[in-house]
Amino acid sequence: MTEANENNDQENSPTPLEQATYLLQKYKLVAGLVHLQGISDESLVESTVQKQNLSELQDFLDQLHPADIAHILEALPLDDRLLIWSMVKAEYDGEVLLETSDAVRATLITDMGSKELVAATEYLNTDEIADLAPDLPQEVMDDVFRSLPIAEREQLREAMSYPEDSVGALMDFNVITIREDVRLEVVLRYLRRLEEMPDHTDQLFVVDRNEHLKGVLLINRLLVSDPDTLVAEVMSKEMIKLHPNDVAQQAANAFERYDLVSASVVDDTDKLLGRVTVDTIIDFIRDKAKSEALNLAGLSEDEDLFAPVLKSVKNRWVWLAINLVTAFIASRVIGMFEDSIEKLVALAALMPIIAGIGGNSGNQTITMIVRALALDQINNRSTWKLIFKEIGVSAVNGLIWGTIIGLLTFAIYQNPQLGLVMGIAMILNLLLAALLGVLIPLTLRKFGHDPALGSSVMITAVTDSGGFFIFLGLATVFLL
């Protein structure tokens, strides 16, 4: 962690990524020059300079934290990435793989042999291996299983059995357990015999002989209490107990609300299975926020920044296809009114305004509702209040913007009726946006879908087609 320290120390010192890029360039530049000039008898110079450059790069990488290496790999184009990857210490391989995003991890794993992959898992805990498992080839996982002691084999099987996004998938097995009938003195001596304690150990778990959780002894309590005290006297019986099949979001909410560092995971009989720690929760929160942003923009999954073009196309086509369908429907709605547009061509120029602002307003409503649903703030009682509120907001906005746009239209086209139709269409489309902005996410949720996924596309489809229909329909009836 020296690097991180040094970097935080001086604000203008280069980041690990900048340093790595610089050293990499230096190495590649010489390689390029030699190659360019076809100088063969300079192979001596080449090898000396190059060896030096390479070892400089190697030294730099060796002192980096695995998380920093992962960050550098993410930011490099594929060829540079694989060059750096080949230079990472074998004992860091596993940790670096854990820290990279799914897309980049895949490029690294493809570059490794089976043996290398098995070796990489040797430095990992079973719960960490389980995190990598979905990305590893079957034969590698078979070898990994064979290489583990029986107890850990069982743990790995257990860790792999939990569905993604469950508490079980976030759980690790690094718990220290103690009994309630011993004195703190004994606990302290027991701890002193350990070589080190697992990271994020802020509490010891008090269990009976059947491993049922009785309470927790906070390390902070342990340190300030008289060593003669019994564990039972200072342990806390009020604690967060998670279950492996709970959804992970629930655990994240608990950590956020109660400011936890670790929390126990128990089965239905209160038997201690493991724990969840705050570092895992932070990763979960970050990944969740990332995938939400990706989904909103119509990217199916995480994408390597330097993914080959065809891979990116594959990642993005679904939403483009959906968008094509909704755009096509909107186009057909306009097609219905081609006669009207032929008679009054101004309609063609004005209609995107109605559709666009409706879409923007609808997305504002959707965002409010999706957020409130995620935070569990909406129940049946409040639904009506929300619909009324959003309709109220839209009515006011409609009056304001409808008036402005109506006057603008009148100013440009000198046609008061056209201005009036424009203003009324604006109000109606904003009301439509408000109503469906509340109903779409609530309905998705009711049927068990993620209320965020696709909401934005749907509301835009509605406000586009709906906006065109309202505006052109009104124009056809009242103007022509």
Closest approach, Cβ 372 to its own copies, in A, equals: 5
Closest approach, Cβ 145 to its own copies, in A, equals: 27
Closest approach, Cβ 31 to its own copies, in A, equals: 16
Question: What tokens appear for 141 in the block?
Answer: 């996982």
Nearer to its own copies, 140 or 216 (CB): 216
* Residue 27 and residue 50 in contact, taking contact as beta carbons nearer than 8 Å: yes
Whats the size of the chain, residue-wise? 480
Burial class (CB in 10 A: 0-12, 13-18, 19+), 223: exposed
Nearer to its own copies, 15 or 50 (CB): 15
Closest approach, Cβ 1 to its own copies, in A, equals: 5
* Residue 425 and residue 293 in contact, taking contact as beta carbons nearer than 8 Å: no
Nearer to its own copies, 273 or 350 (CB): 350
Nearest CA to 114 out of 148, 79, 139, 84 is that of 139
Spell out the alpha helix ranges (H) of 375-415.
380-413
Nearer to its own copies, 239 or 479 (CB): 239
Nearer to its own copies, 119 or 218 (CB): 218
Helix, strand, coil fractions of the chain, as percent rounded to 5: 70, 5, 25
Nearer to its own copies, 148 or 354 (CB): 354
| Burial 37-62, CB ≥16 within 10 A → b, else e | eeeeeeeeebeebbeebbeebeebbe
Closest approach, Cβ 267 to its own copies, in A, equals: 12
Phi first, then psi, for residue 260 (nearest 5°) are -85, 155
To 10 degrees, the CA torsion angle through 466, 467, 469, 472?
Answer: 180
Closest approach, Cβ 220 to its own copies, in A, equals: 4
